[in-house]
């Protein structure tokens, strides 16, 4: 592969606010920075919970309506989607997921955000969503680089591979 074929820049859109919705974008951005690839994260809709100071370290696994949920692990028995609504199921699944992530030394969301930012990754919130949810920049973690319109994000993303998680 020639240097011209290598990815130089990624723009990752994070739109889901569950634990399993936030981590793929963080892992992709961290991996990009480790490879010397420019990384921009754009948090929109419920993905904003990944950078909201009050909620970012208390995200849960979404169990309701998740047809991929299996017990006790990814090779286990399918969990009927209606069982995801049982009180405590989301908390239980979250504890189990975090336990497995700890074994792999995957940091909590807040620490991961800090690592990505310190490595040069850029983090942006979607202006339309910020306005719709009545948020201010004070609601976000200090690593946020700004609130952008979609047009601004496309401008920053020029020449990038766009990844939607």
pLDDT digits (tens, 9 = 90+) for 56-101: 999 999 888 777 777 666 787 777 778 888 888 888 888 888 998 9
Mean pLDDT of 112-132: 98
- Residue 15, pLDDT score: 97
Q: Is the pLDDT of residue 1 over 60?
A: no
| Peptide bond just before 31 cis, omega within 30 deg | no
47: nearest Cα among 20, 28, 10: 20
- Largest pairwise CA distance in the chain: 53
Question: What contacts 24+ positions apart, CB below 8 Å, involve 129-137?
Answer: 129/43, 129/44, 129/45, 129/48, 130/48, 133/48, 135/48, 135/52
Of the pLDDT bands very low, low, confident and very high (cuts 50, 70, 90), residue 3 is low
pLDDT digits (tens, 9 = 90+) for 102-114: 999 999 999 999 9
Element (H, E) at 126: strand 122-126
Q: State which fold the 8-57+108-165 domain adopts.
A: Hypothetical Protein Ychn; Chain: A, (3.40.1260)
CATH 3.40.1260.10, the chain: domain bounds:
8-57+108-165
């Amino acid at each position: 592969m020639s240097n011209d074929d290598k990815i130089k820049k990624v723009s990752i859109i994070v739109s889901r606010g569950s634990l399993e919705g936030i981590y793929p974008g963080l892992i992709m951005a961290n991996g990009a920075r480790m490879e010397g690839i420019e990384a921009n994260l754009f948090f929109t809709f419920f993905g904003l919970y990944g950078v909201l100071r009050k909620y970012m370290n208390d995200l849960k696994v979404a169990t309701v309506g998740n047809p991929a949920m299996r017990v006790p692990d990814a090779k286990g028995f399918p969990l009927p989607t209606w069982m995801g609504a049982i009180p405590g199921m989301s908390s239980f699944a979250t504890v189990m997921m975090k336990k497995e992530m700890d074994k792999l030394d995957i940091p909590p969301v807040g620490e991961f955000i800090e690592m990505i930012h310190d490595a040069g990754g850029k983090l942006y919130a979607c202006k339309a969503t910020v306005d719709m949810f009545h948020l201010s920049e004070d609601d976000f973690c200090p690593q946020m680089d700004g609130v952008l319109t979609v047009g601004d994000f496309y401008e920053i993303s020029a020449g990038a591979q766009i990844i939607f998680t």
